[in-house]
């Protein structure tokens, strides 16, 4: 099998287990291609001896499977690079929570035994696409987790005029609005009071950030509907964040958000269930008294 490897290059301890990963892959005769930036980090910063491998930049790679080593942020970077290549991604968690990257370093040996026996499952995860009036805001306007509209350079709220399939929904007077996939429902959306949505659900959630009204609540809609946003701001600008990648946007720019025409494929071990993750990593239903 050929593996493309993308890793965290900012915190050395998050890539400490890379040496063991390469040993495991080398024992199985795997063909490797490694993100050039990650390769230089491992060889120059961590002084690791890396097996012979093809190096790649950006999205210029092909493989049977992508390996993300880091946290969920690294996994999102990997998903952005994979795009519509239809390559499944396995996340090895050296971060903290690990919803997407949920294979612990201690599980690597057993996980690759299962992979080489084709004893694993692949989950399809929906992706959001951002379109806007004027010049495109992002080179890759796709989000596996969420697209967030946020106030910028001002303590004042913004007004987000929101329509669904062309029909007015409401105007959010708030610090922002988080539009999330089911995958992203346990990320930023959850932290601002959004609902947890099972990954296989065909849904999108809209959750306001610090709304100036007690009767504004999160709403869940069908994922084949289109969301249109027009934003007013006292500073005449606002932030648009796509899976954490943010850019300043001028007032008057109309945004349209809809489901992308491709999905991201996430590799899971057979016994890794979403509800187990909720209980173990989020202490779902735990009584800590």
Percent of the chain with pLDDT over 70: 99
Asked whether residue 177 carries a pLDDT value surpassing 70, the answer given is yes
- Same-domain check for residues 12 and 91: yes
Q: In this structure, are 115 and 65 located in the same domain? A: yes
Give percent above pLDDT 90 in the chain. Answer: 73
Instruction: Give the model's pLDDT for residue 14.
Output: 64
Query: Residue 168: inside a domain, yes or no?
Result: yes
Which residue range forms the structural domain that includes residue 273?
Answer: 2-120+269-282
Q: If residue 262 lies in a helix (H) or strand (E), which one and from where to where?
A: strand 255-268
In this model, does residue 154 exceed pLDDT 80?
no
Catalytic residue among 72, 102, 175, 243: 72
Bridge partner residues of 240 (DSSP)? 149, 247
Coil, helix or strand at residue 79 = helix
- Tell me, yes or no, whether 34 and 64 share the same domain: yes
The dihedral built from the CA positions of residue 31, 36, 42 and 47, taken in this order, carries a sign that is positive
The model's confidence at residue 266, banded by pLDDT at 50, 70 and 90, is very high
Give per-residue burial for 163-198: e unless 16+ CB within 10 Å, then b.
ebeeeebbebbbbbbbbbbbbbbbbbbbebebbebe
Does residue 124 carry a pLDDT above 80?
yes
What CATH number does residue 109 fall under?
A: 3.40.50.10330
Is the residue at 289 inside a domain?
no
Residues 174, 214 within the same domain: yes
The whole-number pLDDT of residue 118 equals 94
Burial of 93-104, coded b for 16+ CB within 10 Å and e otherwise, reads bbbeebbbbbbe
Instruction: Please check whether residue 55 lies inside any domain of the structure.
Output: yes
Answer yes or no: 72 catalytic.
yes
Domains contained in the chain, number: 2
Would you state the structure tokens that stand for residue 27, as one six-digit string? Answer: 């024992």
Indicate the pTM of the whole model. Answer: 0.92
241: CATH: 2.60.200.30
Q: How many CB atoms lie within 10 A of CB 28?
A: 12
Name, in order, each residue with C-beta under 8 angstroms of 18's C-beta and a sequence gap of 6 or more: 7, 42, 46, 48, 69
Mean pLDDT of all residues in 166-192: 96
287 in any annotated domain: no
Q: Which tens digit of pLDDT belongs to each residue from 9-61?
A: 887 766 678 889 999 999 999 999 999 999 999 988 888 888 889 999 999 99
Strand 219-222: give its sheet, edge to edge: 219-222, 203-209, 176-180, 146-151, 237-242, 245-250
Q: pLDDT (tens digit, 9 = 90+) per residue, 215-252?
A: 899 999 999 999 999 999 999 999 999 999 999 999 99
164: its two tokens:
């669904």
pLDDT at 15: 67
């Amino acid at each position: 099998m050929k593996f493309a490897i993308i890793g965290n290059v900012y915190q050395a301890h998050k890539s400490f287990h890379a040496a063991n990963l390469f040993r495991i892959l080398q024992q199985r005769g795997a063909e490797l291609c490694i993100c050039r930036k990650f390769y230089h980090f491992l060889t120059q910063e961590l002084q690791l001896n890396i097996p012979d491998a093809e190096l790649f930049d950006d999205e210029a790679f092909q493989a049977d499977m992508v390996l993300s080593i880091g946290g969920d942020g690294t996994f999102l970077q990997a998903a952005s690079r994979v795009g519509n290549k239809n390559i499944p991604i396995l996340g090895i968690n050296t971060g903290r929570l690990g919803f997407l990257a949920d294979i612990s370093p201690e599980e690597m040996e057993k996980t690759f035994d299962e992979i080489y026996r084709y004893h694993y499952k692949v989950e399809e995860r929906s992706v959001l696409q951002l379109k806007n009036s004027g010049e495109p805001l992002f080179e890759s306007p796709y989000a596996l987790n969420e697209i967030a509209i946020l106030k910028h350079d001002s303590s004042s709220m913004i007004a987000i005029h929101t329509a669904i399939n062309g029909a007015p929904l409401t105007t959010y007077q708030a610090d922002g609005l988080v539009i999330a996939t089911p995958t992203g429902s346990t990320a930023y959306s959850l932290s601002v009071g959004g609902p947890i949505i099972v990954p296989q659900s065909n849904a999108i959630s809209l959750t306001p950030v610090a709304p100036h009204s007690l009767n504004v609540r999160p709403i869940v809609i069908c994922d084949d509907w289109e969301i249109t946003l027009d934003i007013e701001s006292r500073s005449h600008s606002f932030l648009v964040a796509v899976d954490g990648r943010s850019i300043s946007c001028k007032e008057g720019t109309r945004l349209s958000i809809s489901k992308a025409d491709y999905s991201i494929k996430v590799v899971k071990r057979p016994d890794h269930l979403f509800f187990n993750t909720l209980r173990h990593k989020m202490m779902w239903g735990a009584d800590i008294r």
